[in-house]
């Protein structure tokens, strides 16, 4: 056996960020190759190879619990779970972009490179163990995504990029202020050190200092922007509508998952003790969750543009996810936050399920929009006859978003709601279930338009190979998570065993 | 250490007083009647300030300037990182050298890209 | 004593310049006021014994970012008079800003801050270089910043490129 395996303590620091380094090297390769090759398909292939290599290396850290660069970066199973999720998402996005990138003309190399850089940033976010790495990796992700949003260079896309940039900059300033306050009150930058300092300061007292309180509020606001929770969601409809559809898919899945990863790293584990502090932020998340679900579901009903509708739908999904966060904070299990918390594995499962589902829906929309040239729901009329398989896949994903078995959305909601009930949050679960029923209305409206209305033309909607593969993988993922969730839950629970 | 900045502060105050004096002295002299007021075409023309402008000065600038400003900004930020490293070059040793090398390498990729994409060229 | 006086002078300059930035109607003058604000903030850093940060502030903000802002204004046509559409929001914005200010002042005054017992370092560049590039410091964050600059160059050029065809 390799002696390195036995000498985990003596690993060189760069070893801990090997998956990110590989992805960065491939991003650089894409940038350089783009300058010399005219056949841009090669760039997609290079990106895919980079993603696979990075994923394979990430997998090697499964079950470890190491910290590198003096705690700047952690490699535990939690980080590996999210790294694989981000890599999987960007893999499917690259596949689904095969035809779509033609609308970027000469900017295809930049598209792939920025996609890889954004993924690198998210992977670093998942493994961040220090507020400095939290912030810079968040910015890396943000900058890449702002640029990706403006790739179509038409009026809507540019407006979307500008709005996203301005609001993102404000959110990042808010977050930075929060981090500064927390640093000021604890005097530490490492997440573990901050947790210990907070615990030491608050043991025996019954209230937090104003700076810690405000810092926590600002953190929730800053991260709330990332996960698009109401009232920090203002950017979502315009950005989702204006951005290239593949980028919208990436934003709605990977960026949101990264937001939840960082919330679970920074808020729910650092401020987990003492109990009353955890219950405090749990209440905040519960209130935000109710606001988010209800408002987003009601506003989604009159939408006529499917990208906009899915934008509001993704806000609502963040609401359901926050039920899990609320359960995480008010969990009655003593000390359950770090260990085998069903709420945390529920959130992880929901994120995986949501990733497949939303990716599937957006891939289907990308393929359809390529052919019919429209994102209006009314133009989807008769899609069931023009392209049965495509319509079936989209229907399946929408059904999963509602939360109907056998699609994975049902199991995902089931796990989170069960955890919430165990945490004495029955009222929140009831509101969430009512919301699911409301949401069925606008999802099923699309289904109705596709299957029951007559098509304007009998022309088939063909699709090219790679995006179809991407769609098929997504749908298989939704089906697998929905029918054999036990396997995945086991993995998610293993993740929890290793959370600090 | 801070006394040094005090000197800079004094310098700024001196600069302020000097430049204000240049503006105020003629006004005061004129007010006291020491200097007669005889405005004329030659007296009011710009003196040693370049050509007289023709048309409006607020023309729309070519956006190509923007590329240079952007690339310059990136270089500026890189410099902020490299300066402290250069200060303690010996002390930081090979570790610091490697770190700085990687830092420059990553940014250089961006410059090669900007160069090859002809962002730095004036068409 | 002199230090405190310098701090307050700089603080007054910074706040006054910032108020000018939000209240002036001519966007070019706004940019100039912003530069004054940047310089005053650099002065604040000096009084707080952060000399390298002050130099960085002058170099990046006063030197580069203000150039970028002024260039951006010169490249646009006839937008120098600000946006009249925002005028009805003036009072609500003022109210929110005042409440936020009150909140922040309360937080700063009422919190038990961690105060380091060691005297301030001078100059700070040496210790900073150990933090940025030393094996016991934040070298990974420094490298991520380089990747950030790379992404920013890519993104900026993509967005600034004119649309083809």
Domain definitions of chain A by residue range: 273-500
Q: How is residue C101 written in tokens?
A: 């200010």
Specify whether C7 is located in the same domain as C62: yes
User: Which residues have CB under 8 Å from A182's CB, separation 6+?
Assistant: A131, A194, A211, A212, A215, A216, A219
Residue A67 has phi, psi (to 5 degrees) of -130, 145
Q: Do B112 and A24 touch (CB under 8 A)?
A: no
Q: Do A72 and C103 touch (CB under 8 A)?
A: no
Closest by alpha carbon to A22, among A2, A62, A49, A40? A49
Domains of chain B, start order: 2-116 (1.20.58)
Residue C37 lies in a domain: yes
Residue A130 has phi, psi (to 5 degrees) of -150, 145
Contacts of A134 in chain C (CB under 8 A): none
Give the minimum alpha-carbon distance from B99 to chain C in angstroms, rounded to a whole number: 6
User: Which residues have CB under 8 Å from C54's CB, separation 6+?
Assistant: C42, C43, C45, C46
Alpha-helix residue ranges (DSSP H) falling in C63-135: 66-75, 90-110, 125-133
pLDDT at C57 over 90: yes
Q: What is the pLDDT of residue C90?
A: 80
Give the span between the Cα atoms of C156 and A109, in whole angstroms.
14
Q: Do A73 and C112 touch (CB under 8 A)?
A: no
Residue A66 has phi, psi (to 5 degrees) of -125, 155
Give the span between the Cα atoms of A222 and B26, in whole angstroms.
56
Could you list the residue range(s) of the whole structural domain that residue C162 is in?
Answer: 124-165
Average pLDDT, chain B: 83
Q: What is the pLDDT of residue A335?
A: 43
Give the minimum alpha-carbon distance from A470 to chain C in angstroms, rounded to a whole number: 26
Residue where a domain stops, chosen among C52, C81, C110: C81
Q: DSSP of A92-115, one letter per residue?
A: HHHHHTTTGGGGGGGGHHHHHHHH
User: Which residues have CB under 8 Å from A299's CB, separation 6+?
Assistant: A312
Specify whether C2 is located in the same domain as C77: yes
User: Which residues have CB under 8 Å from B67's CB, separation 6+?
Assistant: B114, B119, B120, C157, C160
Give the minimum alpha-carbon distance from B48 to chain C in angstroms, rounded to a whole number: 24
Give the span between the Cα atoms of A288 and A284, in whole angstroms.
6
Count CB-CB contacts under 10 A for residue A100: 20
Give the span between the Cα atoms of A416 and A405, in whole angstroms.
15
Residue C41 lies in a domain: yes
Q: Do A114 and C163 touch (CB under 8 A)?
A: no
Residue A75 DSSP SS3: strand
What average pLDDT score do residues C36-58 get? 91
Give the span between the Cα atoms of A382 and C30, in whole angstroms.
55
Q: Do B74 and C63 touch (CB under 8 A)?
A: no
Residue C104 lies in a domain: no
Q: What is the pLDDT of residue C85?
A: 55
Residue of B57, B84, B90, B104 best to disrupt the C interface, most CBs of C under 10 A: B84
Specify whether C145 is located in the same domain as C76: no
- Chain A neighbours (≥3 Cβ pairs under 8 A) are B, C
Contacts of B95 in chain C (CB under 8 A): 133-135, 139
Give the span between the Cα atoms of A150 and A163, in whole angstroms.
10
Q: Do C133 and B85 touch (CB under 8 A)?
A: yes
Specify whether C4 is located in the same domain as C69: yes
Interchain contact A32–B (C-beta under 8 A): yes
Residue of C155, C162, C163, C165 best to disrupt the A interface, most CBs of A under 10 A: C155
Residue where a domain stops, chosen among C81, C98, C133: C81
Q: What is the pLDDT of residue A4?
A: 40
Q: What are the Cα distances from residue A343, in Å, to A269, A277, C28?
A: 13, 17, 53
pTM of the model: 0.90
The upper half-sphere exposure of residue C34, i.e. CA atoms within 13 Å in the direction of its Cβ, equals: 19
Residue A270 has phi, psi (to 5 degrees) of -75, -40
**CB interface of A with B, residues 124-163, below 8 Å:** none
CB-based burial of residue A319 (10 Å sphere; 0-12 exposed, 13-18 middle, 19+ buried)? buried
Count CB-CB contacts under 10 A for residue A103: 16
Give the span between the Cα atoms of A15 and A423, in whole angstroms.
39
Give the span between the Cα atoms of A473 and A245, in whole angstroms.
18
Residue C115 lies in a domain: no
Q: What is the pLDDT of residue C121?
A: 78
Interchain contact A31–B (C-beta under 8 A): yes
Q: DSSP of A18-59, one letter per residue?
A: HHHHHHHHHHHHHHHHHHH-S-THHHHHHHHHHHHHHHHHHH
The 10s digit of each residue's pLDDT in C75-113 is 876 655 655 556 777 888 889 999 999 999 999 898 888
Closest by alpha carbon to A232, among A317, A140, A320, A170? A170
- Chain B neighbours (≥3 Cβ pairs under 8 A) are A, C
Residue where a domain stops, chosen among C25, C48, C81: C81
What size, in residues, is chain B? Answer: 123
Give the minimum alpha-carbon distance from B117 to chain A in angstroms, rounded to a whole number: 7
Token pair 């992805």 is at which residue?
A23
The upper half-sphere exposure of residue A90, i.e. CA atoms within 13 Å in the direction of its Cβ, equals: 36
Contacts of A35 in chain B (CB under 8 A): 112-113, 116-117
Q: What is the pLDDT of residue A253?
A: 92
Give the span between the Cα atoms of A214 and B61, in whole angstroms.
44
Closest by alpha carbon to A243, among A376, A148, A163, A322? A148
CB nearest to C155's CB, from A147, A211, A214: A147
Q: What is the pLDDT of residue A315?
A: 92
Q: What is the pLDDT along chain A (500 residues), one digit of tens a residue?
A: 333 444 455 678 888 889 999 999 999 999 999 888 888 888 889 999 999 999 999 888 887 788 888 888 888 888 898 999 999 999 999 988 888 887 777 788 889 999 999 999 999 999 998 999 999 999 999 999 999 998 888 888 889 999 999 999 999 999 999 999 999 888 888 888 898 888 888 877 777 888 888 999 999 999 999 998 888 888 998 899 889 989 999 999 999 999 999 998 888 778 887 778 888 888 899 999 999 999 999 999 888 888 889 999 999 999 999 999 898 887 755 443 445 578 888 888 899 999 999 999 999 888 888 778 788 888 888 888 888 888 889 999 999 999 888 888 888 898 899 888 888 889 999 999 999 999 999 999 888 888 888 777 767 666 677 888 888 888 888 888 888 877 777 766 666 665 54
Asked whether the beta carbons of A353 and A421 are under 8 A apart, the reply is no
Domain count, chain C: 2
Q: What is the pLDDT of residue A336?
A: 39
Average pLDDT, chain C: 85
Give the minimum alpha-carbon distance from A32 to chain B in angstroms, rounded to a whole number: 7
CATH code of the domain in which C37 resides? 1.20.120.1200
Q: What is the pLDDT of residue A497?
A: 60
- DSSP letter for C112, please: -
What size, in residues, is chain C? Answer: 165
Number of continuous H segments (helices) and E segments (strands) in chain B: 4, 0
């Amino acid at each position: 056996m390799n002696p390195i395996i036995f000498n985990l303590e003596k690993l060189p620091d760069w070893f801990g960020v090997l998956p990110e380094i590989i992805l960065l090297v491939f991003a650089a390769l894409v940038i350089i190759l783009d300058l010399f090759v005219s056949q841009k398909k090669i760039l997609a292939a290079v990106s895919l190879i980079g993603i696979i290599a990075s994923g394979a290396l990430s997998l090697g850290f499964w079950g470890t619990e190491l910290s590198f660069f003096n705690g700047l970066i952690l490699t535990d199973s939690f980080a590996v779970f999210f790294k694989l999720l981000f890599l999987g998402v960007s893999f499917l996005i690259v596949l689904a972009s095969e035809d779509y990138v033609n609308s970027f003309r000469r900017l295809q190399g930049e598209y792939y490179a920025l996609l890889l850089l954004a993924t690198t940033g998210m992977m670093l976010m998942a493994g961040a163990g220090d507020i400095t790495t939290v912030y810079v990796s968040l910015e890396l992700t943000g900058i890449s995504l702002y640029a990706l949003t403006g790739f179509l260079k038409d009026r809507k896309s540019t407006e979307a990029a500008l709005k996203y940039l301005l609001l993102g900059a404000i959110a990042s300033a808010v977050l930075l202020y929060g981090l500064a306050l927390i640093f000021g009150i604890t005097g530490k930058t490492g997440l573990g050190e901050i947790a210990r300092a907070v615990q030491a300061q608050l043991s025996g007292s019954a209230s937090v200092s104003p700076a810690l309180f405000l810092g926590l509020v600002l953190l929730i606001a800053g991260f709330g922007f990332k996960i698009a929770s109401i009232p920090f969601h203002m950017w979502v409809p315009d950005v989702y509508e204006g951005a290239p559809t593949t980028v919208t898919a990436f934003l709605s899945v990977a960026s949101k998952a990264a937001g939840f990863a960082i919330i679970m790293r920074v808020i729910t584990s650092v401020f987990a003790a003492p109990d009353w502090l955890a219950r405090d932020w749990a209440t905040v998340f519960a209130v935000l969750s109710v606001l988010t679900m209800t408002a987003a579901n009601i506003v989604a009903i009159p939408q006529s543009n499917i990208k906009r509708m899915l934008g509001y739908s993704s806000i609502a999904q963040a609401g359901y996810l926050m039920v899990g966060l609320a359960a995480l904070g008010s969990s009655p299990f003593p000390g359950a936050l770090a260990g085998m918390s069903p709420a945390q594995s529920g959130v992880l499962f929901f994120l995986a399920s949501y990733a497949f589902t939303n990716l599937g829906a957006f891939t289907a929309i990308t393929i359809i929009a390529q052919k019919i040239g429209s994102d209006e729901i009314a133009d989807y009329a008769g899609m069931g006859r023009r392209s049965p398989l495509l319509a079936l896949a989209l229907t399946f994903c929408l059904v999963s978003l509602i939360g109907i078995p056998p699609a994975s959305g049902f199991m995902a909601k089931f796990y989170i709601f069960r955890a919430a009930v165990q945490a004495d949050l029955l009222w929140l679960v009831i509101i969430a279930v009512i919301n699911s029923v409301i949401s069925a209305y606008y999802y099923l409206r699309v289904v109705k338009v596709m299957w029951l209305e007559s098509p304007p033309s009998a022309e088939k909607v063909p699709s090219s190979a790679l995006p179809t593969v991407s769609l098929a993988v997504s749908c298989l993922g939704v089906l697998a998570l929905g029918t054999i969730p036990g396997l995945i839950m086991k993995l998610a629970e293993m993740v929890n065993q290793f959370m600090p | 250490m801070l006394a040094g900045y005090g000197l800079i502060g004094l310098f700024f105050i001196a600069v302020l007083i000097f430049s204000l004096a240049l503006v105020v002295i003629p006004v005061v002299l004129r007010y006291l009647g020491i200097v007669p007021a005889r405005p004329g075409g030659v007296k009011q023309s710009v003196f040693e300030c370049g050509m007289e402008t023709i048309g409006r000065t607020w023309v729309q600038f070519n956006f190509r300037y923007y590329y240079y400003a952007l690339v310059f900004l990136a270089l500026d930020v890189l410099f902020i990182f490299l300066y402290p490293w250069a200060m303690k070059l010996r002390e930081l040793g090979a570790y610091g050298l490697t770190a700085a090398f990687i830092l420059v390498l990553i940014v250089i990729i961006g410059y090669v890209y900007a160069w090859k994409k002809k962002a730095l060229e004036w068409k | 004593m002199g230090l405190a006086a310098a701090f307050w002078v700089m603080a007054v300059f910074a706040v006054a310049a910032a108020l000018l930035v939000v209240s002036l109607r001519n966007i070019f003058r706004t940019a100039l006021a912003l530069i004054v604000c940047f310089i005053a903030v650099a002065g604040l850093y000096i009084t707080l014994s952060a000399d390298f940060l002050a130099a960085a502030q002058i170099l990046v903000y006063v030197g580069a970012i203000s150039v970028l802002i002024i260039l951006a204004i010169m490249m646009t046509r006839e937008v120098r008079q600000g946006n009249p559409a925002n005028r009805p929001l003036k009072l609500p914005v003022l109210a929110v800003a005042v409440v936020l200010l009150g909140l922040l002042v309360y937080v700063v005054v009422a919190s038990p801050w961690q105060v380091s017992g060691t005297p301030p370092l001078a100059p700070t560049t040496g210790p900073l270089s150990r933090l940025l590039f030393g094996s016991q410091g934040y070298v990974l964050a420094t490298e991520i910043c380089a990747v950030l600059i790379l992404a920013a160059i890519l993104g900026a050029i993509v967005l600034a490129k004119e649309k083809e065809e």
